Structures are given as C-alpha cells and as structure tokens.
Amino acid sequence: MGKIIFGDQILERSDVHIDLEDRGYQFGDGVYEVIRVYSGKLFTMKEHIERLFQSAQKIKLDISMSPEKIQELTEELVKENRVDFGSIYMQITRGAAPRTHMFPKPESNTKAVFTAYTNEVPRPVSLFEKGVAAITTEDIRWLRCDIKSLNLLPNVLAKQEATDYDCFEAILHRNGIVTEGSSSNAYIVKNGEVITHPADRLILNGITRQVLVELCKANGIPFVEKEFDLRDLKDADEVFISSTTSEVMPVIKLDVETVGDGTPGKITRKLQALFEARINQDTKVEI
Ligand SMILES: Cc1ncc(COP(=O)(O)O)c(C=O)c1O
C-alpha cells in the first residue's frame, strides 16, 4: 500500500480516484515503466524514464512533466514508502474524456494522468540458481512492440498459457522466428556467442538488455543481434531471459525438453555475476 504519485503530487492511495472514463482504463491508451529498487536506490532510472518519454512520443502523448520532475517524485516516493528491495510501477494515460476513439480535442483541456506506486519485491535468487522452465507460443501481438504500451492482452494470454503448464515464461515466435518473452527479452548462447532478436519494432528494447549489451562488450563476450528460429532455440547451448524483475534468468527447460545439460549455462552464470556486480556498483549505499 503506502503512498502513490498522482499527477505531480504524492498522496495517500485511498485519496486518489481514477475516472471511469480514463482512456487508460477504457482503451489501454497509455504507456508504462517498471523500475527496480535495490537497497532503497533506483536502478537504471534515467534509462527507464527516457524510455517512458520515447514510448509516449510514439503514441503522440504529451507527458507535460519534465523527466527531472518524474525522477524527483519517484525518488521521493521510494523514500516515503521506505522501499528497500522492490519496484516502482509508473504509467501515464491520455486522461479522462467522453469515450470516443479519437484523441480528445485540445480545447477539451484533457490532461494526461500520471500515476505511480511501489511494491516490495525480493530478488528471486533461488530461481537465478536453479533456472526456470518456459514454453514457446505464437507471438500474436501488434507490430509496435517497441512501445511499452498498456495494451498487454496478448502478453497476458501468453503468460497464462505458460502458467497453465507450470512454466515461468512464454517465449514468443512469429512464423518460427523467436522475438522475446511475454514480459522479458530472450537469448540463446551458441558456440560462445550470445544471440538475441534485433531491437526493432517487434520487441521491446529492454533496459536490462541494454545493460547486458554493455557488459558483453566490456567483457569480450560476443553479442550478436540477429534473428534466430525455434530450431536454433531448441539446439542452443544455453537459453536465458532478461527483465527488470527477473534480471538474468536461466531457462533450463523448453516445452518439456531440457536445455543443454539442464542446469544454468556458463555464459548465463557469468552474465548473472556481471549484472549483480553492476547493481552493487550503481546502488552502493554511501556511508
Ligand atoms: C515484452 C517485454 N519485453 C522485454 C521486457 C524487458 O524489459 P526491461 O529489461 O526494460 O524490464 C519486458 C519487461 O517488462 C517486457 O514486458
């Protein structure tokens, strides 16, 4: 529970009411971000806020608050709610207006609605060590998956399908080409190379993915952005997924088949260690 951000204010959650005709509620007309909190500090905050602005711009939504103001409010909320290990969810919608598909007219003075709240979320360390199972399923999303849009119905259906099979994630494919996970980016490791779908309109350019690109470059691990298919996925030496909440998560089972020897692979473990070092470096508590 705790406090939330509503517009440019921090308020008690119970004091905030969202209009029934908010376009986020009715059309999913908005964009969002999730930022991780480690030891009370926001990790890769600037990158997430920058992506929020990019997503908003791509759907022609005027945030009408500066990135600096959002950063200030976010840091304040994490402090107020005393979040130690957790996340902050933020979203912005095109505001409340009588329900018609087209954007509200400028003269209606409809304002974008910005909200954010925090959650306590422990790092899933035992899963990092054991790895997780995943299914593969068809990617039935639209063609602008680079936008972190509130419209997540295909992702929700894919994740539920994975859950029904007792799996952690659904890895999506378009006509056999692997794009990403339902809420993560997907990678294979083959002959020492990390391979992932190019950051085009068919995937979300994950912030965790961007950190991994940097870490691979800095540590001499070949990182290749190219298409790969379901056969490559099944024949991979290692498979892993990445996201803000799952960090670098080994996939050890795919559609009931074992990946590699059924344990997290060497390069995946190396990337986990490098990622953790990066978290520690960026969220060090100064004494
Ligand atoms: C569809 C999709 N792809 C990739 C990601 C990973 O992005 P990030 O690393 O920025 O969390 C997410 C995160 O929620 C996602 O929903």
pLDDT tens digit sequence for 226-273? 999 999 999 999 999 999 999 999 999 999 899 999 999 999 999 999
Give the tokens for residue 166.
Answer: 């007792």
Does 247 lie in the same domain as 129?
Answer: yes
CB 141 within 8 A of CB 155: yes
Residue 81 and residue 200 in one domain: no
| C-beta 87 within 6 A of ligand 1 | no
Whether residues 184 and 271 fall in one domain:
yes
Kindly report, residue by residue over 74-111, the tens digit of the pLDDT: 999 999 999 999 999 999 999 999 999 999 999 999 99
pLDDT at res. 285: 72
Instruction: Report pLDDT for 97.
Output: 98
What order of strands is seen across the sheet that includes strand 41-42? 9-12, 3-6, 113-120, 86-93, 30-38, 41-42
- Same domain, yes or no: 101 and 86: yes
Q: Do 155 and 275 lie in a common domain?
A: yes
Same domain for 131 and 271?
Answer: yes
Q: Which of 120, 155, 190 is the last residue before a domain boundary?
A: 120
pLDDT digits (tens, 9 = 90+) for 111-123: 999 999 999 999 9
Average pLDDT, the chain: 97
SS3 166: coil
The SS3 call for residue 115 is strand
CA of 184 to the centre of ligand 1 (A): 4
3-state secondary structure 65-99: CCHHHHHHHHHHHHHHCCCCCEEEEEEEECCECCC
Q: Closest Cα partner for 148 from 215, 190, 209? A: 209
Segment 131-170, tens digit of pLDDT: 999 999 999 999 999 999 999 999 999 999 999 999 999 9
For atom 3 of ligand 1, which residue has the closest CA?
184
Place of tokens 């960090």: 247
Domain assignment of residue 174, yes or no: yes
CATH number of the domain bearing residue 56? 3.30.470.10
Give, for ligand 1, the residue of 35, 171, 184 to mutate: max count of ligand atoms closer than 8 Å to Cβ. 184
- Nearest residue (by CA) to ligand 1, atom 15, is 183
Where residue 241 sits, what CATH number does that domain have? 3.20.10.10
Same-domain status, 37 and 106: yes
What span, in angstroms and rounded, lies between the C-alpha atoms of 234 and 255? 9
Q: Which residue is associated with the tokens 């539920």?
A: 160
The answer as to whether 91 is a domain residue is: yes
Q: How confident is the model at residue 25 (pLDDT cuts 50, 70, 90)?
A: very high
Q: Identify whether residues 139 and 258 lie together within a single domain.
A: yes
Report CA(106)–ligand 1 centroid distance (Å): 33
Same domain (yes/no): 175, 269? yes
Q: Which of 244, 248, 249, 275 to mutate to test the pocket of ligand 1 (most atoms within 8 A of CB)?
A: 244
Please indicate, yes or no, whether residues 130 and 106 belong to a single structural domain of this protein: no
Q: Kindly state whether residue 165 falls inside one of the protein's structural domains.
A: yes
Query: What are the helix (H) ranges across 143-182?
Result: 153-164
Question: Residue 42: pLDDT above 90?
Answer: yes
* 254 and 192 share one domain: yes
The verdict on 98 and 176 lying in the same domain is no
Q: Which residue out of 243, 275, 278, 279 has the highest number of ligand 1 atoms within 8 Å of its CB and is therefore the one to mutate?
A: 243
Two structure tokens written together for 267: 């390069």
DSSP labels for 2-51? -EEEETTEEEEGGG----TTBHHHHH--EEEEEEEEETTEETTHHHHHHH
Residue 287: inside a domain, yes or no? no
Domain count, the chain: 2
Identify the DSSP state of 184: S
* Residue the block writes with tokens 């007309």: 29
Under a CB-based contact definition with an 8 Å cutoff, are residues 150 and 56 in contact? Answer: no
Hey, what long-range contacts does 261-264 have (CB within 8 A, 24 or more apart)?
263/131, 264/128, 264/129, 264/130, 264/131, 264/238, 264/240
287 has a pLDDT exceeding 70: no
pLDDT of residue 108: 96
Asked about 130 being catalytic, the answer comes back as no
Instruction: Decide if 149 is inside a domain.
Output: yes
Domain range for 276 is 125-282
Contacts 24+ apart (CB under 8 A), 104-107: 104/23
CA-nearest residue for atom 2, ligand 1, is: 183
**49 ligand 1 Cβ < 6 A:** no
- Choosing from 105, 148, 234, 270, which is the catalytic residue? 148
**Is the per-residue pLDDT at 1 higher than 70?**
no
